[in-house]
Structure 1
């Protein structure tokens, strides 16, 4: 099982939206997918609703114990999709001792035989949960909105990844790259900011760019990928962009 973290130390950049679409793309590729919602806002959990009559399943805060509760399993959404949902107890995790940062990596390995890909939606701030997610991951991808505050968050995350790699937490962690999202290429300021981002980070900026498009928000509200049941040219364009970007990211994990 490969583990992919979606991370940026700035909120509102589209982490959950990217996580959701990567999950749909992976499922369409025939992969068995495990979702882990480490963000107390629970956007990922909200997108994938509980099937009628389903057992509650393992919750994210339980990953921070020395051992998983006996018999605990992710909640099954479908035959090839499981989820470990965010819960209120996550609020206390960032106050825990740093030693618990290593527990989720061990816990998630319990399910390696059952899933091909694990996608972790991380919280938008530095703390135990973000550090633990990066410690558990094989790969990390960074969605970023193009603006002054958002770009500062990228620099912070790059430093955090460096710490994770060099301080013995997870030397194997590979940064797949930065995905510019919610871009408006018609705005001069955003074009300049994107150019500045590419100048600073070079090949770390992925060639796929995901502009701000209304059909994406509507698709999330309907709990479907934006490339499903497209209507009109704008919707079709958004679907093509997102499907290509998600497939490219998944391909880089091969």
Structure 2
């Protein structure tokens, strides 16, 4: 079983959106996926409740149950475990990071987001886990802001940035109403294409992590 943690101590950066979309993408690729919602707001769990499709399995748990639940998921044959963490919770974030094979830190290309994510990066640096920032909510007319944000994260915060950038698209918001993912409601849309690229890149990163 491989574990991916979506984390950032700042709220509103798109952790749940990316967690749900990656969960569907890995499921569509034929893998058994479990998405654990560690956020008290339980947005991912509510999305899961709204889904008509049986998979991926989505479960809301108390952070204190993370290690035990992860072990149970491994025992029942899960291939991919995705952790959607809560903001403003250093202990939970650290537990998720230590458990993960890969950490993705969603971040919007704004100065406030860049400043806030330094706390999460410092936690990641306490471990040996593979971690990347993922630029999310990138506006179509402001590609320069994304370029500058990537440079700041890489050169000043010391964290590599995923080559796939996620745009600010209506499809990502629409799908939460119906418990779907963008690739399900608009298979040929731009959002679906972005998620396909992100899934492919993420899968490659997992392959590079020693078993």
Aligned 1:100-249 pairs, distance under 5 A? 104-114=66-76, 115-163=78-126, 165=127, 171=128, 173-175=129-131, 177-187=132-142, 190-191=145-146, 192-200=148-156, 204-230=160-186, 236-249=189-202
Which ranges in structure 2 are unaligned for 5 or more consecutive residues? none
Per-residue displacement from partner, 1:202-223 (whole Å, max 9, x unpaired)? 7711110111011221122222
Output the CA distance in 1 between the equivalents of 2:49 and 2:93: 24
* Unmatched runs of 5 consecutive residues or more in structure 1: 53-76, 94-99, 166-170
Contact 2:9 2:87 in 1 (8 A): yes
- Could you say what the CA RMSD is over the residues aligned between the two structures, in angstroms? 2.6
Q: 1:5, 1:119 within 8 Å by CA — same for their partners in 2?
A: yes
Q: 1:210 to 1:84 in 2, by over 3 A?
A: same
Q: Deviating runs (4+, > 4 A) in structure 1?
A: none
Within 5 Å, give how 1:14-29 maps onto structure 2: 14-29=14-29
Structure 1 contact 22–246 (Cα < 8 Å) conserved: yes
Cα gap change, 1:9 to 1:29, in 2 (>3 Å): same
In 2, the alpha carbon distance for the partners of 1:204 and 1:19 equals 19
SS of alignment partner, residue 40 of structure 2: coil
Q: Distance in 1 between matches of 2:3 and 2:169?
A: 28
Match of 1:65 in 2: none
Q: 1:85 aligns with which of 42, 54, 60?
A: 60
The farther-off stretch of 35-44 and 195-204 is 195-204
> Rg: which structure is higher?
1
Whole-Å separation in 2 of the counterparts to 1:229 and 1:107: 31
1:73-112 per-position Cα deviation (integer Å, ceiling 9, x unaligned): xxxx73x5333214xxx5xx6xxxxxx6xx6334412321
Pairwise CA distance, 1:18: 0.2
Matched with 1:68 is none
Residue correspondences, number:
205
Contact 2:44 2:58 (8 Å CA) reproduced: no
**Structure 2 CA distance for partners of 1:110 and 1:193, relative to 1, 3 Å:** closer
8 Å Cα contact 2:107-2:135 kept in structure 1: yes
